[in-house]
């Protein structure tokens, strides 16, 4: 009985390995094409959904920076205190307030 189980598990492992190696070969080549046009979003979706989400992410990033990140950075590396500010607060704020409505790079 155990011999049949071992053969079955070995067959499953072999099939999984074959599928894992075969899937990248069948990948879509369009994923590597670079699009030079800016991404556009319908304006109503941008104003009603994406901008409020961007504002919420700006607030969450600010809270995440002020409470756990800034004190730890001030103690451990005071010279690098501004580095986490860009990804946590700057990028969502730029997305929310600086990008033109309907176009996000």
Q: Give yes or no for a contact between 88 and 63, defined as CB atoms under 8 angstroms apart.
A: no
Q: What pTM, to 2 d.p., does this model score?
A: 0.58
pLDDT at 93 over 90: yes
C-alpha torsion sign, points 49, 52, 54, 56:
negative
Rg over CA atoms, the chain: 24
Q: What is the pLDDT of residue 25?
A: 53
d(CA 62, CA 95): 14
pLDDT value of residue 60: 94
pLDDT digits (tens, 9 = 90+) for 22-57: 655 545 555 555 555 655 678 888 889 989 999 999
pLDDT category of residue 18 using cuts at 50, 70 and 90: low
CA distance 52 to 91: 14
Per-residue model confidence as pLDDT tens digits over 57-87: 999 999 999 988 888 888 998 888 888 888 9
Q: Between 87 and 18, name the one with better pLDDT.
A: 87
């Amino acid at each position: 009985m155990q011999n049949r189980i071992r053969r079955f598990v070995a067959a499953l492992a072999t099939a999984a390995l074959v599928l894992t190696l075969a899937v990248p070969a069948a990948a879509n080549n369009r994923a590597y094409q670079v699009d030079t046009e800016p991404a556009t979003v319908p304006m109503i979706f941008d104003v009603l959904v994406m901008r409020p989400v961007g504002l919420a992410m700006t607030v969450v990033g600010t809270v995440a920076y002020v409470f756990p990140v800034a004190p730890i950075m001030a103690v451990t590396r005071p010279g690098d205190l501004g580095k986490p500010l860009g990804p946590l607060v700057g990028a969502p704020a730029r997305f929310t307030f600086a990008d033109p409505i309907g176009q996000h790079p």
